Amino acid sequence: MHRRWIALAIALTFSGMTQAHETPKTAAPAIEAGADDENLWLDDIDGAKPLEWVKARNAETVAKYAEGEDFKTLDARILEVLDSDAKIPMVSKIGDHYYNFWRDKQHPKGLWRRTTLAEYRKDKPAWETVIDLDALAASEKENWVWHGAQCLKPDYRRCLVSLSRGGADADVVREFDLSTKRFIEGGFSLPEAKSQVAWIDDDHIYVATDFGPGSMTTSSYPRIVKEWKRGTPLSSATTVYEGKPSDMSISAFRDLTPGFERDFVQRALEFYNSETFLRGKDGKLTKVDVPNDAETDVEREWLLIEPRTPWTVGGKTYPSGALLATKFDDYMAGKRDIIVLFTPDEHTSLSSHSWTRHHLILNLMRDVVSEIQVLTPASAGAWKSETLSGAPALSTMQAGGIDADESDDYFLTVSGFLQPTTLYHGTLGKGEREAIKHSPAFFDASRFVVSQHFATSKDGTKVPYFEIAPKAMKADGNNPTLVYGYGGFEISLQPMYSAGVGRAWLEKGGVYVIANIRGGGEYGPRWHQAALKANRPRAYEDFAAVSQDLIDRKITSPRHMGMMGGSNGGLLAGNMLTKYPQLYGAVVSQVALLDMKRYTHMSAGASWMAEYGDPDKPEEWKYIQTFSPYQNLHKGTKYPPVLFTTSTRDDRVGPVHARKMAARMQAMGFDASLYENIEGGHGAAADNKQSAFMNALAYTYLWEHLK
């Protein structure tokens, strides 16, 4: 009951180096043919003819942009960063050990490994390998990509490990024994599907998966969740809850906090619209009576509620974006004694929260810059509040509890555009935190300066953006400038160190800009809701305003300015290409939505109708068509050159969008390039080598056109 489904929205971070992962089926669902689409034949994702066409486009792109010495040097330098042993190995605590998933040159698919806290504090910890994914992939002749593990409290011996073929969202699930470091023969096991599993006890799990025809939603996620007993066939599992085909997904889990064990069922109707039920020992479901768009979190005796629209309850109205607390059992019994923990204002919003044993950490943003508050629960009345300080200007500081069952220990990271990440360890209420890990500097940051600016959008809204530029930059309009944005699903782009941006763009003398446009979460739910459905163009107007502000300030000019975005940001890129072509000298659109007329029939597209609308409804298609790049291409328009990148194995957005957009533009005589990685899922890369190539290709393309 945390920030559910966010992973389904994210494709690429602004750095272009952190990737999300996923998985596809062999072909996209059938789409009704129409005379308006000459490229429907490309919908056959794994068809011989479409793949032959894709390989020909790949060859053209590689020959033009990926065979020169500059490209090869950049590719190697980005890969050096990704494979570096000096990076901070971020960990999570499972039992007495701290676990990390690690990729490097010797282990391209990765190692799941563990160590102790005492070892982890050392410069070079001694790691114990738990699963060698490269060895497993070689022995099983599968291109396994790590999707994580869930381990059962309190002894943490049994784990449910998820592995993806080639990086798609769909994965296989296998039971694993942490003590023997072996998969359990005859243990819980699921074939490839977009499954959701969770432990109940040693001999039972909740499983939502593809149970056969009719068991999946139109969004391609499980519609039914069951309780499965060890040693019995999956077909004998008992149904716990069955949703509707139009729902987004159904799942269940047990909160295994000692003394507060509870079972929950979640029905996700759409993004930020769900129902949560408490499941009694008799199997009866009782709805947690909060608004469907509210986020909830249950920890021990407390229920936290984040309303996303104003909520009136118990005679009081609480604002959108607030954080509220109440005693869970009392609330379920009908009481409405609610404590306000956080109230947003025009500049400040809640980014996330995290529990320790006795405290609640709030990660806040004030004009997209971090602030941290530590709250201590009180049995009644206001909770005690203290500030966790220490963040440099224009940086990001994020804190999170390590083990809410046992301690008040926390990890804290501090990072900035020019400041490599530092990892701290501390215990709330017990002195100063200690810096235990430092990420190395991969480029000379002393040559650059970070500043924050505000552009005025078409409707008068002030839109923040960060600018990273050479100190010696002249405001003469000739600086190659790359503007990055996302603007969707309440995702925020905060200051973060990116060695890839440093090496690929800043070192060459370029200016890098992050646009915090509406549709994101920089100012909480209101910022997101301001660009939903019919209001989606507000995000594009914001991005155009930032771009124009850079021109007005003579930082750059259209000839030298490019933009890039991935997934929802790829849709942003498509719209900047088609609606504001005069502003840019080049565009890169990564793993993008582009055909908004048919997006709900492609891969997992039906799950995003709360964000964009339903194009099958004429009244909604009327506004969707205004921001559907594929339908808004026109002969005779002067478009900037554009590169579309995607992955055959992307079963979230799917490669069809990029294929068709490139094909239509090429047929119209426009300069459009395509590169489709055969592996990689929605992140477009299955390992560091592929990730380095994809990023080097994007930055090389932009530099060639903007320098």
Q: Which of 567, 607, 673, 691 is catalytic?
A: 567
Q: Which of 359, 528, 560, 682 is catalytic?
A: 682
> 361, 383 in Cβ contact below 8 A?
no
* Cα distance between residue 395 and residue 415, in whole Å: 6
Percent of the chain with pLDDT over 90: 91
| pLDDT of amino acid 6 | 36
Q: Name the token pair of 93.
A: 């605590």
* Cα distance between residue 301 and residue 293, in whole Å: 22
Query: What are the tens digits of pLDDT across the range 134-160?
Result: 999 999 999 999 999 999 999 999 999
The residues near 74 (Cβ < 8 Å, ≥ 6 apart) are 503, 504, 696, 699, 700
> 75, 92 in Cβ contact below 8 A?
no
Query: What are the tens digits of pLDDT across the range 423-449?
Result: 999 999 998 999 999 999 999 999 999
Q: Is the pLDDT of residue 396 over 60?
A: yes
The DSSP letter of residue 685 is -
Q: Is the pLDDT of residue 298 over 50?
A: yes
The DSSP letter of residue 22 is B
Confidence of residue 5 (pLDDT cuts 50, 70, 90): very low
User: What is the model's pTM?
Assistant: 0.93
* Cα distance between residue 94 and residue 114, in whole Å: 9
| pLDDT of amino acid 35 | 53
The DSSP letter of residue 566 is E
Query: What are the tens digits of pLDDT across the range 443-473?
Result: 999 999 999 999 999 999 999 999 999 999 9
682 is catalytic: yes
Query: What are the tens digits of pLDDT across the range 619-673?
Result: 999 999 999 999 999 999 999 999 999 999 999 999 999 999 999 999 999 999 9
CA 52 to centroid of chain Cα atoms:
31
Q: Is the pLDDT of residue 186 over 80?
A: yes
* Cα distance between residue 621 and residue 590, in whole Å: 24
Residue 119 CB burial class (10 angstroms; 0-12, 13-18, ≥19): middle
| pLDDT of amino acid 71 | 97
> 221, 170 in Cβ contact below 8 A?
no
* Cα distance between residue 222 and residue 211, in whole Å: 8
In whole numbers, what is the pLDDT of the chain averaged over residues? 93
| pLDDT of amino acid 22 | 30
* Cα distance between residue 186 and residue 175, in whole Å: 9
What is Dmax (Cα atoms) for the chain? 72
92 is catalytic: no
Find the mean pLDDT for residues 310-317: 96
The DSSP letter of residue 606 is G
Q: Which helix (H) or strand (E) holds 401?
A: strand 395-401
The residues near 512 (Cβ < 8 Å, ≥ 6 apart) are 417, 467, 468, 469, 481, 482, 484, 501, 505, 506
Find the mean pLDDT for residues 237-245: 98
Percent of the chain with pLDDT over 70: 95
Query: What are the tens digits of pLDDT across the range 59-109?
Result: 999 999 999 999 999 999 999 999 999 999 999 999 999 999 999 999 999
User: Which domains occur in the chain, in start order?
Assistant: 6-28+46-79+442-706 (3.40.50.1820)
Q: Name the token pair of 220.
A: 């391609």
For residue 520, the SS3 value is strand
Confidence of residue 393 (pLDDT cuts 50, 70, 90): confident
